[in-house]
Amino acid sequence: MDTKVQAVIDELQSRIESEQAQIDSGQGFDVNQLALAAGAETAGFLNLLIRTMGAKHIVEVGTSIGYTALWLGEAARATDGHVIGMEAIDSKYQQCVNNLTRAGLNDVVEVRFGDAKVIVRAIEGPIDLVFLDAWKDDYFDYFDILLPKLRVGGCIIADNIIYPASFQETMRRYQDYVRAHANVRSYLLSIGNGEEMSVRIK
Ligand SMILES: C[S@@+](CC[C@H](N)C(=O)[O-])C[C@H]1O[C@@H](n2cnc3c(N)ncnc32)[C@H](O)[C@@H]1O
């Protein structure tokens, strides 16, 4: 891993661990201030998947302060690709831009500020890989909008299928929804918070 990228990842990893301790302690917290990052296992898997697929056109829905975007961007640089991320909270967007700039990845990852439900409509295909990590009720809409733009063999990875438990009912409905699609084959990966990997097969 590039040392500049690794240094920013390490810094954010410490923040994520202290945030998780805060969440686990049951203290109150403001969800709009937290990084809410997917974690190293999922981010590392996405990094390898981009390299394995040779993915060049990568989309992240829900970018927060840029933890996973750093891992996506580091792999996209190796494939000569690019990442489009998006974030609606201004303070998180600003932190994300700053983190990507310090890591030297601002030319590989473009973060768009605003509502992802609008932004995804303007993204052109063919997309190789999508990482869904915004608010969970919206996953259905993102899937519907982005699937037609995905190349055959491309995939949509959706985070938080298993954890936290409060998302499980919505996530089960999401799994049923994507698995019923004739053009998709989809499985749950027990990685990180649980990732539903949906591949466009036709
Ligand atoms: C779970 S966090 C993303 C974490 C990030 N993927 C990571 O692992 O480092 C979800 C983020 O999506 C953002 N978000 C949710 N709905 C959104 C929307 N409609 N438009 C833009 N951002 C949105 C939230 O503000 C939040 O920062």
* 22-81 confidence digits (pLDDT tens): 888 887 788 888 899 999 999 999 999 999 999 999 999 999 999 999 999 999 999 999
Query: Taking 90 as the threshold, does the pLDDT of residue 158 lie above it?
Result: yes
State how many domains the chain has: 1
Amino acid at 36: L
**Which residues, 6+ apart, have CB-to-CB distance to 166 below 8 Å?**
none
Distance of alpha carbon 39 from alpha carbon 23, whole angstroms: 15
How much is the pLDDT for 150?
98
How much is the pLDDT for 42?
98
How much is the pLDDT for 30?
83
Q: Is 158 in the pocket of ligand 1 (CB under 6 A)?
A: no
* 161-201 confidence digits (pLDDT tens): 999 999 999 999 999 999 999 999 999 999 999 999 999 99
How much is the pLDDT for 155?
98
Closest Cα to atom 6, ligand 1: which residue?
63
Closest Cα to atom 11, ligand 1: which residue?
62
Q: Which of 31, 87, 111, 195 to mutate for ligand 1's pocket (most ligand atoms within 8 Å of CB)? A: 87
Which residues span the domain enclosing 192? 3-200
pLDDT over 70 for what percent of the chain? Answer: 100
Q: Which of 60, 120, 135 to mutate for ligand 1's pocket (most ligand atoms within 8 Å of CB)? A: 135
Query: Taking 90 as the threshold, does the pLDDT of residue 8 lie above it?
Result: yes
How much is the pLDDT for 109?
98
Q: Does this model's pTM top 0.95?
A: yes
pLDDT over 90 for what percent of the chain? Answer: 91
Distance (Å) from CA 133 to ligand 1 centroid: 6
The CATH number of the domain holding residue 54 is 3.40.50.150
Q: Is 123 in the pocket of ligand 1 (CB under 6 A)?
A: no
